[in-house]
Amino acid sequence: MTEVTAPQPALPSRTPARESEAAATAREFEAMFLTQTVEEMLRTVDMGSFGGGEAEEIWRGFLAQAYASEIAAGGGTGIARSVEASIEAYQARMGEDE
């Protein structure tokens, strides 16, 4: 059987610490964006007689963060990949200027 390998990336190689920092930053950005999106979605959910009050608002905020973190950790929406690629491209340009 013929061995198939993926093509090498066109970007210059980065140190693992820098790659993981860019990836972590991108995941955090995606989670923050998703938190805001989920918060807006939760505002449309009618809690009936169980809703209302400051405690509910706090709870919904925590729930939105938990949902967003799980969505981002599970592969997310693709935003993190795009942001990570942008960060790496920026770092590559900054490295050329040095």
89 has a pLDDT exceeding 90: yes
Please give the torsion angle defined by the CA atoms of residues 51, 59, 43 and 30, in that order, rounded to the nearest 10 degrees: -170
pLDDT value at residue 10: 52
Does this model's pTM top 0.85? My answer is: no
- The ranges assigned to domains in the chain are 16-43+54-97
Confidence at 48, pLDDT banded by 50, 70, 90? confident
Query: 49, 67 in Cβ contact below 8 A?
Result: no
3 has a pLDDT exceeding 90: no
